[in-house]
Amino acid sequence: EVQLLESGGGLVQPGGSLRLSCASSGFIFSAYAMTWVRQAPGKGLDWVSSLSASGDTSNYADSVKGRFTISRDNSKNTLYLQISGLRAEDTAVYYCAKDRSSGGSCHNFWGQGTLVIVSS
């Protein structure tokens, strides 16, 4: 059974930083691209970043480019999102999702999300 468990969210001041983690199990982690998607309270889904299976190709939404960094440790079956320069508009539930292929694709399994609140 595929399981994705996000952690690392919390309350952070504007300009602050956090590292989100997504521990994965139930599939060959190193064979699939992974993605972060966020959802602000009461709003729709917002694609944030994707990383190829090997970790050599990453993509970011313009709204987070230069502030967020996606990475993975295939030996630990874990996906990360380093987020810095946080703004109020980054407040959201951050979901980790498994892609259907090793490169860019849609997302066939999702975690339950971790909440990031940016507030002073």
Task: Quickly list DSSP for 45-106.
Answer: EEEEEEE-TTS--EEE-TTTTTTEEEEEETTTTEEEEEE-S--GGG-EEEEEEEESSSSS--
95 near another protein (CB under 8 A):
yes
72 near another protein (CB under 8 A):
no
55 near another protein (CB under 8 A):
no
- Cβ of 16: how many Cβ atoms within 10 Å? 14
Whole-number minimum distance, CB 120 to another protein, in Å?
A: 27
Residue from 9, 22, 50, 52 that binds another protein (CB under 8 A)? 50
Residue from 8, 27, 110, 115 that binds another protein (CB under 8 A)? 110
Smallest CA-to-CA distance from 95 within 75, 116, 74, 76 is with 116
Within 10-29, the residues that bind another protein by CB under 8 A are none
# residues contacting another protein (CB under 8 A): 23
Per CB under 8 A, residues contacting another protein are 35, 37, 44-47, 50, 59-62, 95, 100, 104-113
